[in-house]
Amino acid sequence: MPNAKTLNMLQIYLFFTKARKNGHYDAVFLDTDNTILEGTRTNLFVIKDSTLVTPPKEFVLDGVIRQTLIATAQKNGFTVKEEKIPLSDLENFDGAFLTSTSTKILPLVKIDDFIFPEIPQKLKELMKMYDDFLDTSKGVFLDV
């Protein structure tokens, strides 16, 4: 139940702590089909040209940053698809990133053993667009 807020955060804390101890920013959860869901405290997106793909909201926490990023991307000409992302398909994307309140958009260099060689230009453009959105909205997300 990814959209249920709970006070029992022990499992998430343990995965996050283990990731940090091993020199990683976060741990990424997979489902039983080996598709990527989300991080312990983050949402995950992959990008190919001007298309963003993120797991369907029924499988992840549909947080405010995720929602406003999707809306901002669509407003600025990006296509956003909510679909499963098999871990084995990472090579088909230009890059990947995490979103959260504290990091906004954080490009990923590596997921498991797969390495993205560079931050895609379209992702850099999206980061700038989202920063501009945050600067102009001043924290009010009513008109995304």
Chain position carrying tokens 């990923």: 108
Residue 68 and residue 144 in contact, taking contact as beta carbons nearer than 8 Å: yes
5 catalytic per annotation: yes
> Which of 104, 109, 1 shows the shortest CA–CA distance to 43?
104
* Per annotation, catalytic residue among 5, 21, 81, 122: 5
Which residues are known catalytic residues?
A: 5
